[in-house]
Each structure stands twice: as structure tokens, then as C-alpha cells.
Chains A and B, each alone.
Chain A
Amino acid sequence: MSQNTLKIKDLEVEVAGKKVLDGLSLEIKQGEIHAIMGPNGSGKSTLCYALMGHPKYKIVAGKVTLDGQDLLKMATDERARAGLFLGFQYPREVAGITFGNFLRQAANLRAKTDNPEAKPAGPAEYYKTAGSLLEKVGLDKKFIGRGVNEGFSGGEKKRAEIVQMAAIKPKFALLDEIDSGLDIDSLKVAATEITAIQKENPTGLLLITHYQRLLHHLEADYVHVMIAGKIVKSGGMEVVEELEKDGYKNYL
């Protein structure tokens, strides 16, 4: 079944001539939560960037499909509109557009792809939607009128990524260290909101994380251990406990 599935098969990726992903395979269905854990430099972020199509990440082998479509043939914006989302570890600042407008336009683009008849939301009607999305992650409505991520603190940027995910309603979301930069209370709020989004709109989630603490608040269906560009172990939440106890030494 390729419907409702993000299928990664034997993916090899080079960055600046160096192979970082070395035959990675993974299948994520909509509604599932997957977590990838691994030491620094194991290729976790590379997986995210390569799937989203960053020009610096060169695919040398493998195949990725989203609902059966060849993802690797699409440009980054086409991937996004097809339903792939990347929550960035370091979101960029863009002063030229307000966060509210950005959110609305991105949501409209995505809605139109799934349903060409969909009527795009206007600024006035979207104002309420944006406000309530911000509120859910503990951000003030005032962020609607600010430049995208402009002058946001690290934690605010991360929460703004979650707001974007909620607005865009992707089929699959890659969340790259969404937990870094969040204090423990914000982490709880973020995890609760991610779970809520995922319930409302059955998203296939791929959580990239260094730490176990995110998974204390957000239970994954599958936990994968990634070492040197490959998945070396897959299991359930018991893998998290094992890593908590022993670290990665069993896999290195």
C-alpha cells in the first residue's frame, strides 16, 4: 500500500562529497508517530533536509515516495504542497512578510493542492484562526503582525514551527529537534499541541531528537536508533528506556 504512506527505500545522501546517509529505509503511515534517536553526526538532520529537498543534500541512491508519488522528482515547494512538512531545528527569519500572512498563504497553498475548489481564506477570517493556533502553544496574538520569526526567541521560533504545522495540515511532518530550546513547561505544551494536531489531522510524524525527555510527553509508536547514516534498531518505547540506561554504546 503506497496510499497514506511516506516510503523511504535505501536512501543514500551526500553532503559536500561526504556520504551521510548510507542506505536508510523507513516507512511511515499517516497517523503514526516515529522517533529517530541517535548520536551527533549520525545523519538525523540530513534525513530531514534531504527529504525536503535542500539543494546542498545530494541524493546518490534510493527512492522516496509520498502516497506513491516520486518525492525526489519534486522541487521543495511541490513537496510541501503535496503534504510534507519540516519543522526546522533553526527556523529562518524573514522580515518581508508578517507571520499571520505567511501562515494564511501557506495554509491556502496546501489546501488548494488537496482540493482545487477550496476557497482561499482571506486575511480577516484567518486572523481568528491564526490567533487561536498561537494561543494553543502559548504565543501571544501579537505575533500575527510580526515578521516571520523576526526577533523571536529560540523557544518562540520552535513554537511558531508547531503553529505552522497546525495551519498547513501536512500529511507527514518531520520535526527536527523540536524540543531543543524549549524549557520543560514549554516542552509539555508543545507535546500536547503536537498530539492534538496529530489527532485532528492524522499526520505521520517523524520526531528527530537527542533527548528522551520529549518522548516522556509524546508517546511514539516506533522508535528507531540511527548510527552512521543507517537505522540499526527499531522497536517501541522500550528502546527509549534502553537508551536512557545504556546510551548508544551497544550500537557503536
Chain B
Amino acid sequence: MTDKVTKSGALSVKLANQLSNYKYGFKTKDKPKFKTEAGLSEEVVRAISAQKNEPDWMLEKRLEALQIFNSKPMPNFGADLSGIVFDQIHYYLKPSDQEKRNWEEVPDEIKKTFDRLGIPEAERKYLAGVGAQFESEMVYHNLHETLAKKGVLFEGTDAALQKYPEFFEEYFGAIVPSRDNKFAALNTAVWSGGSFIYIPKGVHIELPLQAYFRINAEFMGQFERTLIIADEGSSVHYVEGCTAPTYSSNSLHSAVVEIICKKGARVQYSTIQNWSHNVYNLVTKRARCDEDASMFWLDCNLGSKVTMKYPAVYLMGRGAKAEILSVAMGSGKQVLDAGAKVIHAAPDTSSTITSKSLSKAGGRVSYRGLVQVLPGATGVKSRVVCDALLLDNISRSDTYPTMDIAEADTAIAHEATVSKISEDQLFYLMSRGFNEAEAAAMIVNGFIDPIVKILPMEYALEMNRLIEMEMEGSVG
């Protein structure tokens, strides 16, 4: 009598045991220059604004947002957010005096952190510009000088507000108003850091711009605010990555990203989210596309305790296009509620949403999406594909697609598949000598391959490596 069945059934248990393996969980000892008391109040908001020496209108916006935050209930969908203790969180933590343009000037301990994360090296090798945020502030921002000469602006959002207030008066909160949702209001009240990008008319940036976000302290809230304006006929690819140390207490990351794609412009925004498993990641990302403009969100979610994030595109001009590719891999106690929203507000607009979700070792991954076609938006085309792969019997995948179509001549396609990693596929690979984890990693790679293929090579390698680490656990 032998029992090989348990051997195969042990897969999920084995994987679950390997989840403690998070390579970026180290902490850096760093004394902040300034930090607000734990908890949120008008005083805290005023203190943040005063630290930044902001114009009055921004302070007013913050205070108004605080009221909205206080008056709005918690979301009644997605994930359980009761683990967020708002009174415990420090809403602002200033790590250094000001943003630097040279890594040598960045305080040692902070620089070491980014060295370990490989950021300066990546900048030298394949990026057109880099921003690095530590706690609440951008500690580094630099843009390749050839781009600066073309009039490209790439700055920390705080510095940009001082230097180019006209952009902020026009666009700040225009795409994601405070009233949009509770966490957009929270961000508006206490925002700090993030990137500001302006691409002049007709300028194309070949290499990506990247920002890296690092939470280091315990009981920390990070609330960066990013504003990207792509002027007519321009194009840019912006990449963000994020990690944090592993703490037993919960941290909160609640960002707002606003993107304006003017006529004929193209923006790609790629995220590789790899927060440690104690971070609540509640982010509002939205783009507006004018005539013939196109927006591409590539959203990869691997980390965090809870993620609620639905990158959105408002197609406001004729012929505008939206593409959203979302990958989420959740394991253990993770709840990833990810998805996409596209609002077709103009004729002949088109959208493609592809969602790939993986759940393992009890993880819960959902796709929540909305495709809306407003009255007058004729000739719309939209295609939604949701594929889910379950790696075992204890994990869960859900799909919540909403379609709200006001025009009859809309061409809409929706496909959804849920598959379980097949015993026969595992058996086939194992019959060639690969162990279960190796075999499972190959199958997972195949599942996400269509997405990894369109990532720039460096990120594709990173993504493959992350997935392998998740699957295997022996690395690091």
C-alpha cells in the first residue's frame, strides 16, 4: 500500500509554508526629521501643509477632504478593512531635508535601502529617469538631461507644486475628486510625495521613467499623489514598484494617481506591487483620454495584505482607447480585489480589459470591473477577458463584472475562465523529474506569459523571479 495522493495534495501546504519568504522585508534604521503624532486630525493636516509651505488653496483642499473622509462610510464591498486602526497610523513622516538629484547626497541609510533594492543600478542601465520615495517624501528625483532639454518635467509632486502651480490649479483633483471615495479623500487630506510628470507636445520618451516607493517605519501611512500630463501627441511609459518591511502591525498605503492624456497622446503606467503582507493597499488610479489618445494600465499585484484597486480610464474624446491588463497573485491570508473601470463617454472609443488572477494556499483574488457606455457614445467596442487559475482547493477566485450600456450599437465581448491547476499537467511535468513546486511554477509561468511578454525585459525577468520565489520558496 502506498499513498501518492497525499504527496500531490501536500502542494498547497508546502506553498503556504514558504510564504514567509519575502526578500524585501528588511528594515532600515532611520531617524525621521519630522513626524506627526499618530492619528488623524485637522491639526495633523495643518502640520503637514505647514511643513510643505503650501499655497492656501491646497490647505483648504486638504481640510475639505478631511471632512469628506470623516463623513464617508467605509466601502461596503471588496475586502474586510476593519484591521486598519486609523488612530495608530502616522500620516506624515519626513525622512530627510529635501529631494536630491544625486544619489551621493541622499542620506546614507536611505541610500543603502535603495541600493539593496537595485534602484541606482537600474537607473544607470535602462531608465530615463528615477524617483524614489522613502516614507512620506521623495528623497531622490532625476531625469536624463536630454529629456529635461526637451521640456519634460519629472519631479516630486511637492516640489512641482511649488515650481509649477498652474498645472495643479488646473488638474489636481480634476480626475479624482476628494468626493470620489473615502480613500481618495484621505489621500487628498494628507498627501505627500509622488511624481509629477509633464510631457510636452509631440515628445516621445523611449525609455521608461520609474518611481520606487518604500515604506520603512512601523505604523506608517504612505499617501503619495501622482499627476501625469501627456500633452498632445506625446508618449511616456511610467513604472512604479513598491516594497515594505514585514511588521506584525498593519501599514496603510493609499495613493491617488491622476493622468491626463491629451489628443493623440499615449501613456503606459506599469505597476509591480510587492508590498509586504501587512500593508493595506487602497489606491485610486484614473486616467482621462481626449480624442485619439490612449491609456494603458499594466497592473501587477503580488504583495500586500489587502488590495483594492481598479485602474480606470475615462474615454472622453472620439477614437480614444483604453487597455487595462491586470495580474493578481494572492496566497495565504491575502485578499486582492483588483479590476478595471472604463467609461466610454465618446463615440468610436474602444477598450480591452484582461485580468489574470492566481490564487493559492487559501488566497482570495477577485476581479471587479465596470464597462460603461454613456448615451451618445456610439460605435463603442469593448472586450473583457478574465482568466483565473486556482492552485489548490482552498483558494478562491471571484469575478464581479458590471456592464452598463446605454447605446445599442456597442460591440461588447466578455469571456471568463476559471481553471484549477491540472493534476495531469503536474503529473506530466513530474514524470520528467521536476518536483511539484518546479512543475507548478512552470504552469503558472505559462498562465501569465502573455502579460510577461509585453513587459520590458527587465521587468519581465523581475516578474518571473518573483513568481518563482512565491512558488518555490527556496530562494532568498
Contacts and interface: CB of A to CB of B under 8 A. Distances in A.
Contacts of A61: 1
B21 interface: no
Contacts of A56: 423
Contacts of A105: 434
A96 B423 contact: no
Given A56-B423, A95-B446, A75 B433 contact: no
Given A55-B5, A59-B2, A60-B1, A96 B444 contact: yes
A55 B443 contact: no
A109 B434 contact: yes
Nearest to B422: A92
B181 interface: no
B434 A88 contact: no
A163 B432 CA distance: 12
Nearest to B9: A55
A75 B7 contact: yes
Contacts of B8: 55
Contacts of A106: 432-434
Contact of B2 (A73, A77, A94): A73
Given A55-B7, A97-B446, A77 B428 contact: no
Interface in A41-69: 52-56, 58-61
Interface residues of B, number: 30
Contacts of B429: 92, 94
Contacts of B422: 92
A72 interface: yes
A94 B442 contact: yes
A89 to B, nearest CB: 11
B443 A94 contact: yes
A96 B447 contact: yes
A192 interface: no
A73 B4 CA distance: 8
A77 B436 contact: yes
Contacts of A97: 442, 445-446
A230 interface: no
A109 to B, nearest CB: 4
Interface in B441-455: 441-447, 449
A171 interface: no
A59 B5 CA distance: 11
Contacts of B446: 94-97, 147
A102 to B, nearest CB: 7
A36 interface: no
Contacts of A77: 430-431, 433-436, 439
A72 B432 contact: no
B442 A76 contact: no
A55 B428 CA distance: 12
A168 B430 contact: no
A101 B422 CA distance: 21
Given A54-B427, A77-B433, A94-B428, 16 more contacts: A55-B5, A55-B9, A75-B7, A75-B430, A77-B434, A77-B435, A80-B431, A88-B431, A92-B422, A92-B424, A94-B425, A96-B442, A97-B445, A102-B432, A105-B434, A106-B433
